[in-house]
Amino acid sequence: MNLQTILDHYPGSSNAVITPFGSGLINTTWRIKTDTGDYILQKVNDTIFKNPLLIADNISSISSYLQHVQPEYFFVSPVKANDGQAVVYLPDPGYFRMFPFVKNSHTINVVEKPVQANEAALQFGLFTKMLRDFPATSLQTTLPDFHNLLLRYQQCMHACLHGNPARIEEAKKEIGQVEQYKYIVDAYTNITNSPDFKLRVTHHDTKISNVLFDEADKGLCVIDLDTVMPGYFISDVGDMMRTYLSPVSEEEKDLSKIEVRDEFFLAIVKGYFEALGGELTEPEKEHFVYSGLFMIYMQAVRFLTDHLLNDVYYGAAYTGQNLLRAQNQLVLLQRLLEKEALYKNMVQDTVIAAKN
């Protein structure tokens, strides 16, 4: 792919030095250095995001809202192409967008210090808080049913019947575990039927690499707004727990290294409550720990489903990668369940401390 033809659609992008960037599974990202500045270029995966223009619409309406209502909030808007649009589309290569590279910022892939978890939780909480009066349901749905756990479970059960027969046979144990934890799905269904759980502007991809940090480990802002849609707080808090609690990621093959770290949990609780604690209803607060079960379980279900369907969604760098990822997430789920009661008490203590 000749990226210079894409860059030609932007002002001042001659003599570009282009380097691959980031670790996302879905979109492709490059860092671009030109005579005029430093940028991030992304190709949106339109097999998954069927209409990337909906993403651009959401970013644009959020950006204008924030400029009017919260002008001091740091929000990275896309660079406009020569035609004034936020997205460049060329029939064969596809959909592209460019962002300014935020000076002196960096991302991290693994949370090494509690302060990073605290800062990230604060940033994701603030994002929802800043948009508390924005009409969440006016956002476009960029990925229908993205965090609909009931549907994900049903898709997994369908794959267990109609997927790759050899893989189904081989994954019997993991399929059994997914069925055994079905109560997590039932709790989700109750949440969607309860008026106590609010639909808010939700990021839906709160992994640590979606926060920009400055050199002193202070969170600057959140990035990757592709999946910003109306949603429940359990999605955001849950993915933080999924990706900040353990010292190793979903790719780790040595499952004995998977651990759930108390001080990182507390850092998430404190950071998120600092930003959004006042907005959460009592039943929501009571489901803080459930959020982690929900997201870890859903990711296990999604990886397992993809393995049974021959890796059509996530792809696989080696045979069995998605099964391994599913096993990894099931172990993480088990580790969190072992601490469920302790963590519920930690949330309770934070709620009480906030009231006093």
Closer Cβ to ligand GN1, 116 or 321, answer by number: 321
- For residue 53, which amino acid is it? L
Phi, psi of 211 (to 5 degrees): -120, 135
- Nearest approach in angstroms of CB 223 to ligand GN1 is 10
Task: Candidates 4-12, 59-67, 224-232, 287-295: pick the segment binding Mg ion (CB under 5 A).
Answer: 224-232
Residues binding Mg ion: number (CB under 5 A)? 2
Closer Cβ to ligand GN1, 94 or 277, answer by number: 94
- Nearest approach in angstroms of CB 23 to ligand GN1 is 7
- Nearest approach in angstroms of CB 205 to ligand GN1 is 5
Beta strands 229-231 and 17-20 are unpaired
Among 205, 250, 306, 311, binds Mg ion (CB under 5 A): 205
Binding of Mg ion at residue 119 (CB under 5 A)?
Answer: no
Q: Interhelix angle for 182-192 vs 149-162, to 10°? A: 140
Closer Cβ to Mg ion, 102 or 115, answer by number: 102
Q: Which residue has the tokens 């960029």?
A: 142
Chain residues binding ligand GN1 by CB under 6 A are 24-26, 48, 143, 205, 224, 227, 250, 299
- Nearest approach in angstroms of CB 143 to Mg ion is 10
Beta strands 28-33 and 17-20 are antiparallel
Of the candidates 57, 58, 27, 22, which has an alpha carbon nearest to the alpha carbon of residue 43? 27
Task: Candidates 77-85, 99-107, 204-212, 274-282: pick the segment binding Mg ion (CB under 5 A).
Answer: 204-212
Cβ–Cβ < 8 Å for 85, 96 = no
Among 119, 174, 224, 236, binds Mg ion (CB under 5 A): 224
- Nearest approach in angstroms of CB 314 to ligand GN1 is 7
Cβ–Cβ < 8 Å for 227, 206 = no
Beta strands 211-213 and 219-222 are antiparallel
**CA-to-CA separations, 322 to 174, 195, 329, in angstroms, rounded:** 12, 36, 10
